[in-house]
C-alpha cells in the first residue's frame, strides 16, 4: 500500500495531477476542481498521534484544511470544521471521511467576516466536541488583482476580515477553553515573504498572520499553549481556481519552485499534525514552510 511514508521522488510525485486553466465562482469547490486535488483520502495513514484531541479547523471543507481534517481524524481527533454555506457539498464529504475514521465530525457553516459567527463557532465547537485543544485558523480569501487601483475597498476589507480579523475573533473566543498542552496553528503563505505583484492585499494579511502568531506565542508560552504557523507554497486548491491566480497562470502553477510542481493538500497535513501533537512540545512561535523548496527568511 502507498501512504505518506512510502519513499517517493518528490519531483515526480503527483505528475498525474495537471493544473489546467479553469475558473470557479465564489469560494470554489474541491468537487469542481479538474483534476481532483489529493487530500490524502486514499493515502493518509494515522498512527494515533492525536488520540482524544478535539480540533476546530476553519475552512476544513476543502483544500489544505480538509486534508488536515482527514489527517487529524485518522490520528484519533474529533474534528469540527467551519466553511461558507455554499460549500456544503465539500463539507459533507469531509465530515463523512472524519466519521469513517471513527471520530466525531461537526459541520458549522457561516461567514467568518461576522464576529458574532466567529464567537458562536467556537462556542458550538466546544459544546459539540466537549472541549477544544487544537485550533487551526486556516480559512482564507485570495483574489488576484493586477493594479492597486483596481483593488476595491470592499475586497481589501473582506481579505483582512477573513484572513486576519477572524483569526483574532476566533482565537480570543477559544483561549478561555484551551488548557495547557493545547495548540494553535495559523496558516500563512510564502506570500508573506515573497509577495506577488497581483496579491498586495492578500500577501499583507499573511505577513500579519506571521507576526500575530509570533507575538501570541510569546504571550501564551508561560500558559503552556503553543502557537505555530504553517506557510504553504503553491498548492492545488479551489482558492487558486476561484480568482486566487489569473486563470492563464494555472497551467504552470508551482513550476517555478525548486521541486518544479504545485503541491497537494495531502502534503500539508503532516505539518499540521506535527504542530498539533505533543511531538512538537518544544516548538512555539515557529513557521513551518511547506513550499516546494523556496528559500524563506
Q: Which residues bind Mg ion (CB under 5 A)?
A: 61-62, 87
Q: Which is nearer to Mg ion, 88 or 120 (CB)?
A: 88
The reply to whether 139 sits near ligand NAD by the rule CB under 6 A is yes
Shortest Cβ distance from residue 90 to Mg ion (Å)?
5
Cell of 107: 459541520
The reply to whether 187 sits near ligand NAD by the rule CB under 6 A is yes
- Among residues 44, 83, 117, 202, the one annotated as catalytic is 202
Of 251, 262, 271, 140, nearest in space to 199 by CA: 140
Q: Which is nearer to ligand NAD, 112 or 145 (CB)?
A: 112
Does the annotation count 202 as an active-site position? yes
In the block, residue with C-alpha cell 470557479: 24
- Give the pairing type, strands 134-137 and 287-290: unpaired
The reply to whether 140 sits near ligand NAD by the rule CB under 6 A is yes
Q: What does the angle CA 229 – CA 233 – CA 235 come to, to the nearest 5 degrees?
A: 110
Among 228, 240, 284, 289, binds ligand NAD (CB under 6 A): 240
Neighbours of 13 (CB within 10 A): 17
Cell of 19: 493544473
CB burial readout 182-211, b (16+ within 10 A) else e: bbbbbbbbbbbbebeebbbbbbbbbebbbe
Q: Are 134 and 77 in contact (CB under 8 A)?
A: yes
The reply to whether 186 sits near ligand NAD by the rule CB under 6 A is no
The whole-angstrom separation of Cα 178 and Cα 132 is 6
Considering only residues 150 to 169 of the shown chain, the ones binding ligand NAD according to CB under 6 A are 162
The reply to whether 88 sits near ligand NAD by the rule CB under 6 A is no
Q: Which residue is nearest to ligand NAD (CB)?
A: 63
Per CB under 6 A, residues contacting ligand NAD are 27-28, 59, 61-65, 83-84, 87, 111-113, 138-142, 162, 187, 189, 232, 234-235, 237-240
Q: What are the catalytic residues? A: 202
Amino acid at each position: 500500500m502507498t501512504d505518506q511514508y512510502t519513499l517517493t521522488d518528490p519531483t515526480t510525485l503527483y505528475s498525474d495531477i495537471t493544473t489546467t486553466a479553469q475558473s470557479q465562482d465564489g469560494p470554489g469547490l474541491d468537487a469542481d476542481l479538474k483534476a481532483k486535488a489529493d487530500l490524502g483520502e486514499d493515502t493518509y495513514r494515522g498512527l494515533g498521534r492525536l488520540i482524544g484531541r478535539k480540533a476546530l479547523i476553519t475552512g476544513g471543507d476543502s483544500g489544505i484544511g480538509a486534508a488536515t481534517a482527514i489527517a487529524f481524524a485518522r490520528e484519533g481527533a474529533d474534528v469540527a470544521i467551519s466553511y461558507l454555506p455554499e460549500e456544503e457539498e465539500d463539507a459533507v464529504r469531509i465530515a463523512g471521511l472524519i466519521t469513517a475514521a471513527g471520530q466525531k465530525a461537526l459541520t458549522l457553516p457561516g461567514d467568518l467576516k461576522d464576529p458574532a459567527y466567529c464567537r458562536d463557532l467556537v462556542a458550538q465547537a466546544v459544546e459539540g466536541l466537549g472541549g477544544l485543544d487544537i485550533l487551526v485558523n486556516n480559512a482564507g480569501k485570495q483574489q488576484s488583482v493586477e493594479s492597486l487601483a483596481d483593488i476595491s475597498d470592499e475586497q481589501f476589507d473582506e481579505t483582512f476580515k477573513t484572513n486576519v480579523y477572524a483569526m483574532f475573533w476566533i482565537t480570543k473566543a477559544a483561549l478561555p477553553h484551551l488548557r495547557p498542552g493545547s495548540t494553535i496553528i495559523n496558516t500563512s503563505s510564502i506570500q508573506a515573504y515573497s509577495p506577488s505583484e497581483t496579491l498586495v492585499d492578500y500577501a499583507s494579511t499573511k505577513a500579519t498572520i506571521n507576526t500575530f502568531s509570533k507575538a501570541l506565542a510569546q504571550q501564551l508560552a508561560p500558559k503552556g499553549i503553543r502557537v505555530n504557523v504553517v506557510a504553504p507554497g503553491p498548492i492545488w486548491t479551489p482558492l487558486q481556481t476561484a480568482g486566487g491566480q489569473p486563470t492563464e497562470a494555472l497551467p504552470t502553477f508551482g513550476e517555478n519552485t525548486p521541486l518544479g510542481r504545485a503541491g497537494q493538500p495531502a502534503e500539508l497535513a503532516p505539518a499540521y499534525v506535527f504542530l498539533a501533537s505533543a511531538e512538537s512540545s518544544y516548538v512555539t512561535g515557529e513557521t513551518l514552510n511547506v513550499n516546494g523548496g523556496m528559500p524563506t527568511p
